[in-house]
Amino acid sequence: MSTHLYNQFSTISSLRRFNFDLLYQFLLPYKDYLCSQHHFRWTDNLLQFPYQDLANILAEPDDEIPELLHNGIFFIDELSTPQAAEFIVQQLKNEDHTIPSWANPTNLALYTWLLNPEILQVTHPQLAALRPRRFEKSYSARSALPDLSKERIIALEDELNNWFDSLNKGRGVQVIHYQRNGIISFQLRHGDLYKRDIALKNNGQTKRIVYRPKRYDFLDYTPDECQLKIHSDTKRENKVYRHLIGKYCFDDENFFLVGDGKNRYTLEPIRDIGREALICRDIDGLEWVHLKELHTKIPEQDHYYEVFKSSNHCLFDDWDSIGKRYRDTSEFVRATFLIQVAGLPRARSLTICLPDITIYERRLEVDRLFVTWMKKRLFTL
């Protein structure tokens, strides 16, 4: 097993970043296990605490490590980031918990685990939903707010349980919903088919394990756009989610339709106004926008496309020196932009695929800024 599996727990320097009182409280229930490990000697003294021995144990846990301790170091390590802290703080506020002013992301994750481990367990898949991914989009004929009462959600979970169970994926469906920036998001947890694997123990022996993997699917509903976006593993799951969300949250299982024959986006501003289409100085929070890649379709030749990629920073810079290379009759079908958001260490990508797909990192602030920029530059119809 490789070392430094959990970055926040595998070195002396990272362990010293934790508030000692919080770390002590976290480890105390597992004192007997730690003391059973080679060289570890428990002490209440901060100056004499065996950080190096603790790092050696947690960097490469053995098969006897208590499950709750293992879960704790996993979730705390995964959620010790500024992005995770945004979600954790919001969840703590929702549950009327006190938020310590001194807590950096690492200590906030540890503090929250001690307060209520379920908060981190819920936050972890929420962050996964923000990673760049493709969503299937459905639209409704009218804008409406969903009924998210406890009774409706339980009924939705019951029918999903029956459906997944019929596919030999077990029960245990959980539906969590939350709102951000005018978007109502759903997180659906469910099981998968049983999986058989062979595990290698630290002593070199092997054992066969059988388990049911856990899966998360994500849905975003935007009432202002009458749009439902679904990310799951299969088209079949998308269809079931679409119908059941309509049935239980809108009293109409046909509330959402796949597509509607309409273009949601256009790339014509690139052709019509050129570099001016990249202006962002009227949007607080954006520093610059570059056109990195453009895909065009040749109408005269079926299934023939041309792809232009910038070898520098922006295609317009390349075209200024060598002239534009796309044909006047070409249809613009896909474009990728690099956008620098103030305060972020690197630029983020935004891809628009006609007629109705956008691909970008779903972060709270990035989402709002990208949508605003597309509307102001007339990429949104």
Q: State the pLDDT at residue 2.
A: 38
List the chain domain ranges: 7-128, 136-258, 268-376
- pLDDT at residue number 261: 55
pLDDT at 23: 93
pLDDT digits (tens, 9 = 90+) for 274-289: 999 999 999 999 999 9
Q: What's the pLDDT at 300?
A: 74
- What per-residue confidence (pLDDT) applies to 1? 36
Residue segments in the chain with a per-residue pLDDT below the cut of 50: 1-4, 132
Cα gap 365→42, rounded to integer Å = 44
pLDDT tens digit sequence for 161-218: 999 999 999 999 989 888 877 888 898 989 999 888 887 776 778 888 888 888 889 8
CB burial of residue 203 (10 Å; 0-12, 13-18, 19+): exposed
> Which pLDDT value is given to residue 307?
93
Q: What is the pLDDT of residues 130-169, one digit of tens each?
A: 664 667 778 887 889 999 999 999 999 999 999 999 999 9
Q: Which of 252, 265, 253, 260 is nearest to 227 (CA)?
A: 260
pLDDT value of position 362:
65
pTM: 0.60
CB 64 within 8 A of CB 78: no
